Structure 1
Amino acid sequence: MPHDHHDHDHPHALLPPDPALRVKALETLLTAKGLIDPAALDEIIDTYAHKIGPQNGARVVAMAWADDNFRRRLLADATGVCAELGFYGRQGEHVVAVENTDEVHNIVVCTLCSCYPWPLLGMPPGWYKSDAYRARAVREPRAVLADFGMELTEGQAVRVWDSTAEIRYLVLPQRPEGTEGWDVDRLMTCVTRDSMIGTGLARVPA
C-alpha cells in the first residue's frame, strides 16, 4: 500500500561491513560443504549486474514515453506488458508501474528487507538495502530525496510505495523536455536506475 507524505547517513552509503562479512562467511561455509558452486554464483551476479542491469527497465520506460497506448497498458498491467517483452521471472513476478506527474512524485522502498524488480533493474544498490534508507524513506521522504539532490515543488506530493515479496514497483519518471521525436533507443539514454526507483529524475539532454 502507498503512504502519502508531504545520524543522516548518505543515501549512497553501502551497507556496513559486518553484514558483508557475514555474507562472505556464509558463502564460504556453503561452498566448503559443496552446497553452492562459486562459479555459478558469480555467473548469476554477473548476469544481473551487467547483462540485465537497469537497461530492461529503461527500455520499458522509453517505450512508455514514445507510445501513449503502451504507457496506458503498462500502468494498467505492468506484469503482463513486461512479460510480453521477456522481462519476467524470479523477483519480478508481480510488478506495478506508478507514474510521476507534476502533482505526484513516487518513491519505492522495501521496509522489511530489499524486495526489488530484478528482471527490470538488475541488482539493488547497496543504499536501497540500508536500514537508513528503509526507515527514512517512509518517515521523511522529502528529506531523503533532498539527500539525493532532488528538490520537489511545494505543491508536489510524495507517494511512497512499499515493495513486498508479492509486489514490486517500477516508477515511470517524467519524460524530459527536449526529447521530442526521439526513438526508443535514444530515449533510453535519459532513463537512470534511480529515476525508476524514484530517488532521481530522468537525464535532461545536453
Structure 2
Amino acid sequence: MAHDHHDHDHDHGDDHGQAPPSDMALRVKALESLMVEKGLVDPAALDAIVDHFEHRVGPRNGARVVAKAWTDPAYKARLMEDATAAIAELGYAGGQGDHMIVVENTPEIHNVVVCTLCSCYPWPVLGLPPVWYKSSPYRSRVVIDPRGVLAEFGTELPAETEVRVWDSTAEIRYLVLPERPADTDGLDESALAALVTRDGMIGTARL
C-alpha cells in the first residue's frame, strides 16, 4: 500500500539555501504559462484557486476545529451533537462537507476513516485527499485488517483498544477528533492546532 507521508524529497538546495523546484513543479508552471499565453485561463482565476486550497481549504481548518473542541467544552458538545453546524460556526461548510459526523478517539476506542466505494472526503476541513486514501489497497484492507494497516502507518495500538472503521459516503463525511496530547494544558488554541495532523484526523495516526 502506498503511503505518501513516507515519501521524502532530499534536495540539498542551491547556493542560496533554497531547494530547486521539482520536475513536476516545472512542468506545472510550463503548462500554466502556456494556457495563460493561449488565453485559455485567467491568471487571476488561477491565483484565486491556489489561494483557496492553500489558505481556505485544508488540514489547518480541521486542526482549528480539533483545537477548539479540546479547549471549549461547550463547542465540543455542539460538535459531537451536530458536527456540520459546529464546523460551519468556524466558517467551514459546503463543498463535500455538508453532512459531517465527528468521532472521538479515547484510550478505549480508536477511529479510522475510509471510503470503500471511491474517495469521499471532507474537503472543507481536510483539503484534498492524499493519494493513499484513494488507493484500492487502503480502501479494501483497512476494513478487513484495520490494525495491520494502522501498523503500516506506524500506529501501534494496545490490544485492548477497540478499532472502529467509518465508511464515508456521498452523503456523510467523517472527521476523527484525536486524543489531546499529554502535557499540553498550558497551550492556547493556536499552539494546539499546530500539533494536529491530517492523518490524525483521518485516524491513521495518533498525536
Tell me if TM exceeds 0.5. Answer: yes
Structure 1 counterpart of 2:4:
12
Provide the secondary structure at the position in 2 that maps to 1:112.
coil
- Kindly indicate whether residue 154 of structure 2 is the aligned counterpart of residue 162 of structure 1: no
Q: 8 Å contact 1:11–1:144 — kept in the other structure?
A: no
| Aligned residue type for 1:102 | P
Structure 2 counterpart of 1:130:
135
| Aligned residue type for 1:12 | D
| Aligned residue type for 2:93 | Y
Q: Distance in 2 between matches of 1:156 and 1:129?
A: 26
Pick the aligned partner of 2:90 from 78, 85, 88.
85
Structure 1 counterpart of 2:200:
195
Q: Distance in 2 between matches of 1:41 and 1:140?
A: 41
| Percent identity for Structure 1 against Structure 2 | 58
TM-score (norm 1): 0.79
User: What's the C-alpha RMSD, in Å, of the aligned pairs?
Assistant: 2.5
Structure 1 counterpart of 2:157:
152
Q: How many residues are aligned here?
A: 178
5 Å-filtered alignment, 1:67-82, equals 67-82=72-87
| Aligned residue type for 2:199 | D
Structure 2 counterpart of 1:176:
181
- Kindly indicate whether residue 96 of structure 2 is the aligned counterpart of residue 104 of structure 1: no
5+ long unaligned stretches in structure 1: 1-8, 15-30
Q: Distance in 2 between matches of 1:139 and 1:38?
A: 46
